[in-house]
Amino acid sequence: MSRLAAFLMGEFGMKDIIKLEHVRKEYDDGFVALKNINLKIESGKFYSLLGPSGSGKTTILRIIAGFSEPTKGKVFFDGQDITHLDASKRQINTVFQNYALFPHMNVFENVAFGLQLKKKDKQEIKMAVKEALHMVQLDGYASREISELSGGQQQRVAIARALVNEPQVLLLDESLSALDKRLRKDMQFELREIQKKLGITFIFVTHDQEEALAMSDEIFVLNEGKIQQSGSPVDIYDEPVNDFVARFIGDSNILTGRMIKDYEVEFGNHRFECADAGIKPGEKVEVVLRPEDLDIVDIKDGKLRVHVESQLFLGDHFEIKAKDSDENEWLIHSTNSTEIGKEIGLFFDPEDIHVMRFGESEAEFDRRLEAYEGDEDQEDEEK
């Protein structure tokens, strides 16, 4: 095995390679970009920082990279405090949104640039560049001009340039946003394959929910400078912790309801078995049902009756909008068509119902989040 491959596939184990503790970022004009951010990044995984514009995701990336310092809090890399360490001294490389390739240099010269700055031996540079291009499937492209490459090929050059410097962590800042839809899909697959092959940590910034769900081992969902939820794509999608996450990640039907008791909730003037517990009986709640979890059935077989208002064919499914007798709007995704104006039944399983506390305030959410993180820290100390 070559030196570069051996380094990138080194046995880092599942340890915390990056840790942010109580990080706050406030600018001179008073704008607070990050509010008390606590997160842990394990080595060898693919992470996504997901959120709308202005949510703080790129600010976190810049702080990890060393391009910006937090106003408060600390940043750790492999257990060492790097809060004030210069970016050039971190074992972290960044692939920017526009790739930041040098147009006057060919592919080889772009990939070799960092090694040349370090005054590496010419033969060592030649071998390292050759191997890095092989890793991103660009064998034979060394002499190509940047202007001759497609968007996907340019991205792979940017990744090769980062990998050749032997980073333990690769940061990608909205690096697929300039590509067309089909190429983005292809590059999502390629990026994930590269990460799995090399076994290094990828941290990917995106505002695209589908992109994050498709690529990640774990997602941090951000809004207004706070981590709203973190977890696997399945957890984030199936178990949103609040209204923002439920609405931001995919399509949702969100209705007001009331908790009857553990595993029983009321909404739409009916009581339903559910999979949630731990909420006080009688407490007002919000109920989430994903459109793809709703099955269209005969009225007699349905748990709810709705009136079809509109229907669109979207290629792989029909998007149907309907209303119930209380004028609640329902969004349904089905492979079967129906008729506008028809009454239909909706069927769903208890596991398809997700119950959230109603109108949880920011302060309440922060208290629960801090308590959860405190429990995690205690568990880590006990281990």
Q: 301 and 232: one domain?
A: no
**Res 347 pLDDT > 90:** yes
- pLDDT tens digits along 238-287: 889 898 999 999 899 999 999 999 999 999 889 999 999 999 999 999 99
Measured between alpha carbons, how far is 97 from 374 in angstroms, rounded to an integer?
A: 35
Q: 53 and 170: one domain?
A: yes
Which residues is 94 bridged to in the sheet?
A: 171
Establish if 70 belongs to a structural domain: yes
Give me the sign of the Cα torsion angle 34, 38, 44, 49: negative
Domains identified in the chain, total number: 3
Residue 307's CATH number: 2.40.50.140
Q: What is the mean pLDDT of residues 70-83?
A: 96
SS3 18: strand
- pLDDT tens digits along 96-113: 877 788 999 999 999 999
Q: 64 and 116: one domain?
A: yes
Higher pLDDT, 194 or 345: 345
The gap between the terminal CA atoms of the chain, to the nearest Å, is: 35
Q: Which amino acid is at 49?
A: L
Q: What are phi and psi of 23, to 5 degrees?
A: -80, 130
Write down the pLDDT at residue 150. Answer: 85
Q: 259 and 307: one domain?
A: no
Both tokens of 363, joined, read: 């302060």
Establish if 245 belongs to a structural domain: no
For β-strands 284-289 and 295-297, DSSP reports them as unpaired
Q: 165 and 280: one domain?
A: no
Write down the pLDDT at residue 14. Answer: 59
Establish if 296 belongs to a structural domain: yes
Q: 263 and 134: one domain?
A: no
Residue 24's CATH number: 3.40.50.300
Establish if 117 belongs to a structural domain: yes
Q: What is the mean pLDDT of residues 17-30?
A: 95
Least confident of 1-10, 15-24, 116-125, 349-358: 1-10
Establish if 246 belongs to a structural domain: no
For β-strands 80-81 and 226-231, DSSP reports them as unpaired
Establish if 318 belongs to a structural domain: yes
Taking alpha carbons only, the member of 187, 214, 1, 231 closest to residue 95 is: 187
Give buried/exposed letters for 340-377 (b at 16+ CB in 10 A, else e): eeeebbbebeeebbbbbbbeeeeeebeeebeeebeeee
Q: 192 and 87: one domain?
A: yes
Q: 30 and 164: one domain?
A: yes
Q: 279 and 182: one domain?
A: no
Establish if 244 belongs to a structural domain: no
Q: 307 and 232: one domain?
A: no
What is the extent of the structural domain holding 371?
A: 251-289+353-383
CA 310 to chain centre: 32
Write down the pLDDT at residue 306. Answer: 96
**Res 42 pLDDT > 90:** yes
Q: 103 and 232: one domain?
A: yes
Q: 101 and 208: one domain?
A: yes
